[in-house]
Amino acid sequence: MTAPLVSVDRLVRTYRMRSGMFGRPRGVCAVDGVTLKINRGETLGLVGESGSGKSTTGRLVLGLENPDAGSVAFDGRRLPAMDTPEWRGSRARMQMIFQDPLGALDRRLPIAAQVREPLDIHAVGDEAFRTARVEELMRSVRLSDEVGQRYPHELSGGQRQRAVLARALATKPEFLVCDEPVSALDVSIQAQVVNLLIDLQAELDLTMLFISHDLRVVRQISERVAVMYLGRVVELGNADDLFVSPQHPYTRALVSASPAPGARRSERIVLSGDPPNPAAKPDGCAFHPRCPSAFARCRTEAPALVEVAPDRSVACHLTGLESGAAVVLGAVA
Ligand code: SF4
């Protein structure tokens, strides 16, 4: 078995926040002990509601923020600290696609010039090579040369996200973090961009972390899926299995709200209680105020993420009781 391209080990990220103008600053833990592995050539989907910590996890994995604890290894080597020369050197191999393509593009520059920028920054090839590479990149994301002469505001949302993708691919990265890359697009355009990502991943042997709250899209593109709730991974497994037989009560609720096409529609599980708020994290299992299966232990003890079957891990006291022979994967405070 080959080593994973990306290994994330017990990442923790806490922000200092003040409640109100005169409130005392206190720590709000956005990512709380996340451990993940992403194999070469695979897409790992990362799902969860707003406030679950998935975008922060994406930034930590790319080194755009430094963790308070834990580590990220890329291609077997620990990721260098942000803004060091070593970190800048590794950035050509790892890129990020953001939700808002207009915000990611420079409104004053034509698209082709922006696609070329990373080649200039990393001094890749000579003038002729860079010109040819830009043409190749525009073709690979299905944009014409004529679109390359336009400015971002003259493009549709789908065209802009393709341009962002072309720029991200300029230095031939091995790893892409896509943070809600289609959620700002019309549904019809979403499918085109997701299909393009699937094609490019196969053509270029890309490894991807695909972050989204949209389970339909995650199911379409991911080989494996991690579900996050209030900074922790609560379920992790093969995408097909996880969507067919979700184990964690939170995953069950998410899946019931977004059944697979053609699947028998099971009863929708509507979660009560407040949506996740990292500034007011409950004791014990963070999901217990909303969990229909909560019992006394859940209010005082956080469940560890345990392997309950090959390629399936769950953080729930009930699953641990049922499986009996579960293997503890990551310590949870
Ligand atoms: Fe629900 Fe308890 Fe499992 Fe948490 S540990 S998901 S509260 S049953």
10 HSE (CA, 13 A, CB side): 8
- The tens digit of pLDDT for each residue in 204-245 reads 999 999 999 999 999 999 999 999 999 999 999 999 999 999
Looking at the predicted structure, is the pLDDT value of residue 333 above 60? Answer: no
| Ligand 1 near 266 CB (within 6 A) | no
Adjacent-strand bridge partners of 225: 45, 237
Neighbours of 55 (CB within 10 A): 20
> What is each CA distance from 254 to 152, 215, 229, 268, 284, in whole angstroms?
35, 8, 11, 9, 21
User: Tokens 């499986």 correspond to what residue?
Assistant: 323
| Ligand 1 near 284 CB (within 6 A) | no
Question: Which atom of ligand 1 is least distant from the CA of 303?
Answer: 5
Looking at the predicted structure, is the pLDDT value of residue 153 above 70? Answer: yes
CA of 272 to the centre of ligand 1 (A): 14
| Ligand 1 near 249 CB (within 6 A) | yes
- The tens digit of pLDDT for each residue in 95-106 reads 999 888 899 999
Q: Between 233 and 264, where is the model more confident?
A: 233
pTM here is 0.90
User: Tokens 């900074």 correspond to what residue?
Assistant: 231
Query: Quick one: average pLDDT of 138-162?
Result: 95
- For the chain, the first-to-last Cα distance in angstroms comes to 31
